[in-house]
Structure formats: structure tokens, C-alpha cells
């Protein structure tokens, strides 16, 4: 049977530090929402913070940092490509409404 | 037999593949929400401070449950069965607390007249449809996760299951947490009136 521990395992102290960092990011997100910044700035800031938080969770909580790099390169770029394609195609799909034939 | 190029067990790789597929599902829902949100001129922003505080509490609870899950995995890998049970029990309890807070929020919104096709504030009905769909799918993942944690914890305690089962379940639980990191800012914070 394969062992899943591939390198040095982090301690609970590391996990608690990561957890505190993530709580801090959530607090910044909430503060931004109450700060009356423009919608564009708020969406951008929230997405950047959410992706940062997700990257931290993937690296530490989900152990991608401690697995072989091949696992990351096999899974994550393909997922990001899928998101990119959604972004490209779905925006265009809204335009399809204007291409519909009129109802007789 | 040829070893895995990823140097992980097949069950862990299977969980990773499930997570990637599930992330695409949530991604599609959130992209759909994004396009409809910014394509609607009369979008409703129903949330006040109390909803955000409730959402913050739910976020902290879910993040903390990820931490307790890590404790459970570490204890299981070290062979400390009773300690693993305590950590996993705490994780399941936090999951139940998250689900209870979420259902309470849903109940309040339903009493206010919100629904999949209803908007008591008079704007587009899309908010209710998207909010209940996306949070509903996430809640389903949380409830499934709690059931899985309880089953795995009992199996590990009775020595029918191994630490790798606990680790794989932990991977799923962290993913549930990860999805919420996008749901909370996009569905709650962006809809603060």
C-alpha cells in the first residue's frame, strides 16, 4: 500500500498559524464590504482575497505543498482552464438571446 | 505493480478527481451567478449587518472545523485512536452547528417571503433562485460530510478503517470549506445593502 506522507508533515502550530491568517483574510473581506468602496473595486478585492484563501487552503490544509508537484500540475491548471472557458463562453451565451428567431 | 506517479493512494487520487469535478460544478454555478448578477439592472441586495454577522460566524465555524479535522488526521496517522475520535467528533459537531445556522437563516428568509421564484423586495427573482441553489448545494455537501465523518470515525475506532480513510475524508471536508470561501464573499458580502 502506498504511503500518503511524501515529505515533512507540518505541525499543529503551523496549522493554527494558517487558520489565523485565513480568519484575518475573512475579516478584511467583511471590512471591505462595509467600507462603501465601488462595486468594481469590491468584486476585484473579494475575488483576489478568496483566491488567496483558497490557495492557502490547497497548499496547507489539503496538503498540496507536501505532495509531489505532478499532482498539482495535473489537477489545478486543468481546473483553471475550465473556469477560463466558462468565463469566455458564458458571457457570449447571454448574447444568444438577441439571435433568437422571433416567435411566430 | 507499477507505483502511482503521484505517490498517493488510489483512494486519495479518486477523492482529488472528485474534488476537481465538484469544483467545476460550483465554479459553473458561481460563474452563472456572476453573469446574472451583473447583467440584471434591478438586482436586489437583501442582506443587512445581521446576515453578514451570521455569515461571518458560519465562516469561522467552518474554518475551525478544518483545523479540528487536521487534528483528527494527525492523530489518526499517529495511531492515537481516542484523540482522533475527539477531533473528528469536534469536526462533526462544528459541521452540525454550521448546518443549523444555515437552516435558521433559510427559515428566516422563507418567512420573509423569499423563495426560488419569489422576491419580497419586488426586484428580480434571480437572487432567491441563485442563493438557495448555491447555498443548498453547499449545505448538502456539509451534511454529507458530517455523515461521512461520523461513519469514518466509528470505522476507525473499531479498526475496520485506517488512517488513510480519515485523511481522504479530511480532503473532502477541506474542499467544502474551500467552496465556502467563495460563496460567502460573492453571495453575502456583495449583496449587502
Q: Which residues of B touch A83 (CB under 8 A)?
A: 24, 27, 31
B58 in Cβ contact with B98 (< 8 Å):
yes
B191 interface with A at CB cutoff 8 Å: no
Domain with B124, as residue range(s), is 23-36+46-191
Query: B92 vs chain A: nearest CA distance in angstroms?
Result: 17
Chain A residues whose beta carbon lies within 8 Å of the beta carbon of residue B171: 62-63
pLDDT 10s digits, B69-119: 999 999 999 999 999 999 999 999 999 999 999 999 999 999 999 999 999
Q: Please report the pLDDT score of residue B189 as a whole number.
A: 95
pLDDT at position A3 = 46
> Is A87 an interface residue toward B (CB < 8 Å)?
yes
Tell me if A16 and B67 make a contact (CB, 8 A cut-off): yes
- Over residues A30-75, the pLDDT tens digits come to 999 999 899 899 999 999 999 999 999 999 999 999 999 999 999 9
DSSP secondary structure letter of residue B189:
G
- In the block, which residue shows the cell 442582506? B47
Contact yes or no for B63 and A26 at CB 8 A: yes
Chain B residues inside the 8 Å CB shell of A19: 63-64, 66-67
Could you identify the residue written with the cell 483512494? Answer: B11
Residues 6+ apart with CB under 8 A from A69: none
B18 within some domain:
no
Tens digits of per-residue pLDDT, B121-155?
988 889 999 999 999 999 999 999 999 999 999 99
Mean pLDDT value across residues B13-42: 92
The pLDDT > 90 percentage for chain A reads 67
Domain count, chain B: 1
Report the CATH number that the domain containing residue B113 is assigned in CATH: 1.20.120.80
| Å between A102 CA and nearest CA of chain B | 22
CB nearest A4 (choices: B32, B167, B184) = B167
Residues 6+ apart with CB under 8 A from A23: B60, B63
Read off the pLDDT band of A1 (50, 70, 90). Answer: very low
Q: Show residues of chain B in contact with A43, CB under 8 Å.
A: 190
* Average pLDDT of the residues in B2-17: 89
Q: Copy the grid coordinates of residue B114.
A: 423569499
Our CA angle for B54, B61, B16, nearest 5°, is 120
What is the pLDDT, as a whole number, of residue B156? Answer: 97
The nearest alpha carbon in chain A to B177 belongs to: A57
* Residue A103 reports pLDDT greater than 90: no
**A2/B7 touch (CB, cutoff 8 Å), yes or no:** yes
Q: Which grid cell sits at B171?
A: 480532503
Q: What are phi and psi of B118, to 5 degrees?
A: -135, 140
Q: For A82-96, B92-106, B153-167, which range has the lowest pLDDT when averaged over its residues? A: A82-96
Q: Is the pTM value of this prediction over 0.80?
A: yes
pLDDT over 70 (residue B45): yes
Residues sharing a CB contact under 8 Å with residue A84, sequence separation 6 or more, in sequence order: none
Q: Determine, yes or no, domain membership for B16.
A: no
Residues 6 or more apart whose Cβ sits within 8 Å of residue A22: A53, A56, A57, B63
A15 touches chain B (CB under 8 A): yes
Reply yes or no on whether the pLDDT at A7 is more than 60.
no
Confidence of residue A104 (pLDDT cuts 50, 70, 90): low
Non-local CB neighbours of B188 within 8 Å, separated by 6+ positions: B47, B51, B52, B55
Give the bridge partners for B47, in sequence order: B192
In a domain, residue B10? The reply is no
pLDDT of residue A97: 65
Q: Tell whether B12 is covered by a domain.
A: no
For residue B115, the 8-state DSSP code is: B
In 3D space, the residue among A53, A18, A49 whose CA is nearest the CA of residue A31 turns out to be A49
Q: What is the per-residue pLDDT for B139?
A: 98
Contact criterion met (CB below 8 Å) for A3 and B36: no
Look up the ipTM and state it: 0.92
Residues 6+ apart with CB under 8 A from B85: B153, B156, B157
Please report, rounded to a whole number, the percentage of residues in chain B having pLDDT higher than 90: 83
Residues of B in contact with A47 (CB under 8 A): 185
What cell numbers appear for A56 in the block? Answer: 492557502
Amino acid at each position: 500500500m502506498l504511503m500518503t506522507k511524501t515529505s515533512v508533515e507540518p505541525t499543529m502550530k503551523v496549522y493554527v498559524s494558517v487558520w489565523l491568517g485565513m480568519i484575518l483574510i475573512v475579516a478584511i473581506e467583511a471590512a471591505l464590504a462595509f467600507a462603501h468602496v465601488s462595486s468594481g473595486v469590491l468584486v476585484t478585492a473579494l475575488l483576489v482575497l478568496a483566491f488567496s484563501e483558497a490557495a492557502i487552503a490547497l497548499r496547507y490544509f489539503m496538503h498540496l505543498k507536501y505532495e509531489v508537484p505532478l499532482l498539482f500540475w495535473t489537477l489545478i491548471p486543468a481546473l483553471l482552464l475550465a473556469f477560463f472557458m466558462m468565463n469566455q463562453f458564458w458571457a457570449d451565451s447571454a448574447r444568444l438571446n438577441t439571435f433568437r428567431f422571433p416567435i411566430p | 505493480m507499477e507505483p502511482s506517479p503521484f505517490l498517493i493512494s488510489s483512494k486519495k487520487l479518486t477523492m482529488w478527481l472528485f474534488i476537481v469535478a465538484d469544483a467545476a460544478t460550483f465554479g459553473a454555478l458561481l460563474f452563472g451567478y456572476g453573469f446574472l448578477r451583473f447583467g440584471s439592472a434591478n438586482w436586489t441586495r437583501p442582506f443587512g449587518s445581521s446576515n453578514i454577522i451570521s455569515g461571518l460566524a458560519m465562516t469561522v465555524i467552518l474554518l475551525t472545523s478544518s483545523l479540528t479535522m487536521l487534528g483528527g488526521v494527525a492523530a489518526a496517522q499517529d495511531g492515537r485512536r481516542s484523540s482522533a475520535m475527539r477531533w473528528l467528533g469536534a469536526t462533526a459537531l462544528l459541521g452540525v452547528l454550521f448546518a443549523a445556522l444555515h437552516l435558521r437563516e433559510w427559515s428566516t428568509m422563507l418567512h420573509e417571503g423569499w423563495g426560488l421564484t419569489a422576491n419580497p423586495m419586488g426586484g428580480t427573482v434571480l437572487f432567491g433562485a441563485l442563493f438557495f441553489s448555491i447555498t443548498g448545494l453547499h449545505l448538502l455537501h456539509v451534511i454529507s460530510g458530517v455523515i461521512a465523518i461520523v461513519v469514518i470515525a466509528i470505522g476507525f475506532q473499531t479498526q475496520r478503517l485506517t488512517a488513510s480513510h480519515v485523511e481522504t475524508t479530511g480532503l473532502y471536508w477541506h474542499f467544502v470549506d474551500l467552496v465556502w470561501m467563495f460563496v460567502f464573499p460573492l453571495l453575502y458580502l456583495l449583496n449587502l445593502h
